[in-house]
Amino acid sequence: MIDKIKELIAEADAFKAQTKEEVEVFRIKYLGKKGLLNDFFAEFKNVANDQKKEFGQTINTLKKVAEAKVNTLKEELESKEEVKGIYGDLSRPGSPIQIGARHPISIVKNQITDIFSNIGFNVSEGPEIEDDWHNFTALNLPEYHPARDMQDTFFVQTDPDILLRTHTSSVQVRYMEENQPPIRTISPGRVYRNEAISARSHCFFHQVEGLYIDKDVSFADLKQTLQYFTTQMFGKSKIRLRPSYFPFTEPSAEIDVYWGLETESDYRITKGTGWLEIGGCGMVDPNVLENCKIDSKEYSGFAFGVGIDRIAMLLHQINDIRLLSENDVRFLEQFKSAL
């Protein structure tokens, strides 16, 4: 009897199957209610006492081999079916691919980059974690300068000289340190200021700042560049420059574009004036040029900056700046058709 069981063990171990039906037949033969194992267990009482131990061990071995064989064959066959189901019929329609959407910030940033690329501006980038020199001092904002209070800064507590940049002008400083005029570059990027978060302001936002340095650059060049930008970006060419103050430019001005008063929305966003402020600009202060090892007697230049978030909200009628950073898929899917 024991020899017969050992033969069945070898037979079970060598068994192979091509279908699940064959595996099921094998399982019933060995492990079913009327299978061979039940017959052997029923025969156990008739085995001589001196053979019961070996007989029982042999039956358990047969059971383990049969169960392992069934599990192994089932896994192999299921795996083959899964692969065949995916790759077997190459003529069947493919699964639909979810198309992503560009973020409105990326859309506007790319539009601005394209506009200035057409008139010779390249793109420069720099670190978001800056030092005091590049963010303040080199830009005519020495220590204890009252204008530093205009920007509530996030400083790194372990090192008061390290901070989160408050504008991308720091990128322009780095670019001037490494390149000689003529310089024509824009610096898009994220900046940080310690401001209360609301529908119209956030503690981080996005800017693009432009810089042009060459011989005999005038304020008229600045105005024509901004005129070109607003015409290409908004389809509106009427602008005005209001006197203002920035430590790194002199003279300085606020940039307003005439938006019009054709709709109720126009009245709301321009507060009934028709004019909309989009950024600041001015002629680069000679001290800034000298700090960056550029001869201010030979070269002059202008700089400007606009808020990407504000333009995105304006162009896409977004009424809450917080939507731009919440990663709400329902909001982002609205921009699938945008460039």
In a domain, 97, yes or no: no
- pLDDT the model gives residue 150: 60
Read off the pLDDT of each residue in 302-330 and give the average, rounded to a whole number: 88
In a domain, 98, yes or no: no
Same domain, 66 and 117: no
In a domain, 94, yes or no: no
Q: What is the CATH number of the domain that holds 131?
A: 3.30.930.10
Same domain, 34 and 139: no
- The residue out of 52, 87, 122 marking a domain boundary is 87
In a domain, 187, yes or no: yes
Same domain, 150 and 227: yes
Alpha-carbon distance 300 to 216, whole Å?
6
In a domain, 15, yes or no: yes
Query: Residue 265: pLDDT above 70?
Result: yes
Same domain, 243 and 109: yes
> What is the maximum alpha-carbon separation in the chain?
116
In a domain, 99, yes or no: no
Query: What does the pLDDT look like over 165-198, one tens digit per residue?
Result: 999 999 999 999 999 999 999 999 999 988 888 8
Same domain, 147 and 227: yes
Same domain, 23 and 157: no
Range of the domain at 135: 104-335
Domain count across the chain: 2
Query: What does the pLDDT look like over 5-19, one tens digit per residue?
Result: 777 788 878 888 888
Confidence of residue 338 (pLDDT cuts 50, 70, 90): low
Same domain, 109 and 78: no
Same domain, 65 and 121: no
Q: What are the start-end ranges of the H helices in 168-255? A: 169-178, 219-234
Closest CA to 113 of 100, 122, 102: 122
Same domain, 186 and 76: no
Predicted TM-score (pTM) of the model is: 0.68
- The residue out of 33, 59, 87 marking a domain boundary is 87
- The residue out of 87, 119, 149 marking a domain boundary is 87
For 211, other C-beta atoms within 10 Å of its C-beta total 25
In a domain, 237, yes or no: yes
Same domain, 82 and 121: no
Same domain, 118 and 22: no
Same domain, 167 and 234: yes
Query: Residue 87: pLDDT above 60?
Result: no
Q: Cβ(167)–Cβ(192) under 8 Å?
A: no
Query: Residue 339: pLDDT above 70?
Result: no
In a domain, 309, yes or no: yes
Q: Cβ(126)–Cβ(187) under 8 Å?
A: yes
Question: 44 or 303: which carries more pLDDT confidence?
Answer: 303
Q: DSSP label at 236?
A: -
Question: 50 or 186: which carries more pLDDT confidence?
Answer: 186
